[in-house]
Amino acid sequence: MCGSYSHSTGMAEISDFLKREVRQARARYNIAPRQLAPIVLMTATGPELHHFRWGLIPSWAKEEALGDKMINARIETVLEKPSFRTAFRLRRCLVIADGWYEWTAAGRTKQPWRICPVRGKGVVAFAGLHESWSPPEMGNLPEGQSYLRQTFTILTTEANATLSGLHDRMPVVLDRTSWVEWLDPKTRVEAAQALLLPADDADFHAYPVTPQVGSVRFESPLAHLPLPELFEG
């Protein structure tokens, strides 16, 4: 599962991928469900960067709150679930991040761990799906008015050996060479599925961080500091 992640690095790699300059948004050290976050999706003119709400709301949903249960989608069942299968075929996206958080039991409390690339700072692209939703009762709005939620979910797979001690699931981290193939709606479902692999054991590492990360209101660079460094400071 991925219930909290971050995006605080520069956008140079995304600008290079999009082949146009992308303005650096404010750093996000603790992105939580229901919050807006950057994703890349495919349009008729090529890939574009947008900010959608985390927690996919299926187009047929009667209530917006259903999105709270759809922050993640398991790759093993994504094509079986009505909530995700159409989006998997037609609306795949990249969820832009630089790491994520997991929690372990620490007595009566929980200890958060930050998981990030061993290579240091850099963009990570989770495999995601996006969807558009309007509440049924808003279907008769006056012309020119709309109530539209643009939402996304993060695909998860089995955790690799390095991270399995923290959680049995992890986000699918797409290799840079597969971004275009994943986004392209012309990519066959079988080919898209083949891209959904756990990251190599040596690619990511984890370290304990401040318990304040457990609060969705905590948005500080301190979220990325290893716990010993916080104590030393």
pLDDT tens digits, one per residue of 71-81: 999 999 999 99
Contacts of 132-135 with C-beta under 8 Å, sequence gap 24+, read 132/59, 133/57, 133/58, 133/59, 133/61, 133/64, 133/67, 135/62, 135/63, 135/64
Per-residue confidence (pLDDT) for residue 137, from 0 to 100: 64
Active site residue 102: yes
Q: Select which of 102, 116, 131, 219 is catalytic.
A: 102
Tell whether domain 5-232 is in CATH 3.50.50.60.
no
**Pseudo-torsion of CA 31, 10, 13, 101, nearest 10°?**
-30
Q: Is the pLDDT of residue 105 over 80?
A: yes
Computed over its alpha carbons, how large is the radius of gyration of the chain?
18
Active site residue 80: no
Per-residue confidence (pLDDT) for residue 191, from 0 to 100: 97
Residue 233 pLDDT level (bands cut at 50, 70, 90): very low
Least confident of 81-95, 112-126, 183-197, 201-215: 112-126
Of the candidates 40, 3, 36, 38, the one whose C-alpha atom is nearest the C-alpha of residue 19 is 40
Least confident of 100-104, 146-150, 185-189, 229-233: 229-233
Q: Rounded to two decimals, what is the model's pTM? A: 0.91
